[in-house]
A and B are shown apart, each in its own frame.
Chain A
Amino acid sequence: MDHMLPSPGFSIPSIGTPLAHTGEEEMILPSAQQQQQQQSAQQQQAQQQGQQQITTQQQTYSSGFTPHSLMQPHTPSMLSPAVGGGSQVGAAMFGSATGPSTPAGGPMTPMTPHSNDPGIVPQLQNIVSTVNLNCKLDLKKIALHARNAEYNPKRFAAVIMRIREPRTTALIFSSGKMVCTGAKSEDDSRLAARKYARIVQKLGFPAKFLEFKIQNMVGSCDVKFPIRLEGLVLTHSQFSSYEPELFPGLIYRMVKPRIVLLIFVSGKVVLTGAKVRSQIYEAFDNIYPILKSFKKQ
């Protein structure tokens, strides 16, 4: 049954016949149970009858087979706009299907504590940061003496400078403030900003490196299956906006963490608005079960 299809990212070695390793199941169950209960206590009790049915069916959550009986309680009224609203519903739908939280046991597959460990990690694509050099700058002098600089004051009041390693672009303003974009990691962004400050310093300005702050991080990943965006916007209408005539992606505004996700039919997901890396990862971990439930068959 289930042991034929390995769960993605599942790390427990002896996932085999459900009967043979009840000890491990017991280890997994309480922690999974705790997590699920925190998220969706009410929904699980309502769905327990459904669960008994489900556990006897063939559960292959990697193929995203969502028993239709679980779709019923999934009314918009259950969505709470507060913390983890989206993930709550997703966990409810999926948590029961995957069954780690079933207190009643039965022949179930031991699953990962986190209801769906996809093993997919979003990759950071862009980091925007700002820093204060704390001195007034003569932009014309910088544009004339620095390499790889553009300065067109009629169009934009800043010098646009680029360096090759790390491949980034900086906007340097006459006030001494600077924006650094294009880095793929937090350290790269900081290193690049320092390099720009060094260039400005070498040109004769007393540049400092104050208040370096990462303002935005963008990540992207691929869930590897097509998604039914229409279904998603119907159920998560409070968080989603999908206007295919305007933009082909669904814009999902997650509340906690406060991240905006662009979800596309192909299964590609873009996450943006993070101040720290963990927010991107958390947002993706929250959205993954929801996306799985809207997998296109």
Chain B
Amino acid sequence: MTYQLYRNTTLGNTLQESLDELIQFQQISPNLALRVLLQFDRAINTALANKVRTRINFKASKLNTYRFCDNVWTFLMSDVEFKEVQDFAQVDKLKIVACDGRGKAADAC
């Protein structure tokens, strides 16, 4: 079962907008758009699992809240620093939504 988690990313959102535009101009059916999104879910999940190799570390000064429900972790942190070899990125507020990477899990919306 693939997570629909990645639809709310820059890539996923632009895909959804493009599909909505095509539906508006009646060039594709809504059913086809849905199938495209499902294919996107599968593709992005396998790509991230198999094709991505880079590592990135992050350290937050404070964990504001955490939540674990339906096997999904949600973290809200403040003052986070991302480190990758020499690159640094600083951010004031960070929200992490994490789904279980292994085993079968139901679709998380």
Contacts and interface: CB of A to CB of B under 8 A. Distances in A.
Interface of A: 140, 143-144, 147-152
Q: Chain A's interface: helix, strand, loop or mixed, by majority?
A: mixed
Contacts of B71: 152
Given A147-B67, A150-B67, A150-B68, 17 more contacts: A140-B69, A140-B70, A143-B67, A143-B68, A143-B69, A144-B67, A144-B69, A147-B65, A147-B66, A148-B66, A148-B67, A149-B68, A149-B69, A150-B66, A151-B69, A152-B68, A152-B71
A148 B69 contact: no
Interface string B5-35: 0000000000000000000000000000000
Interface string B69-105: 1110000000000000000000000000000000000
Interface residues of B, number: 7
A84 B67 CA distance: 50
Contacts of A151: 68-69
Contacts of B70: 140
Q: Chain B's interface: helix, strand, loop or mixed, by majority?
A: strand
B59 to A, nearest CB: 20
List 10 A-B pairs, minimum CB-CB distance, nearest first. A150-B68, A143-B69, A147-B65, A151-B69, A144-B69, A148-B65, A148-B66, A149-B67, A152-B68, A151-B68
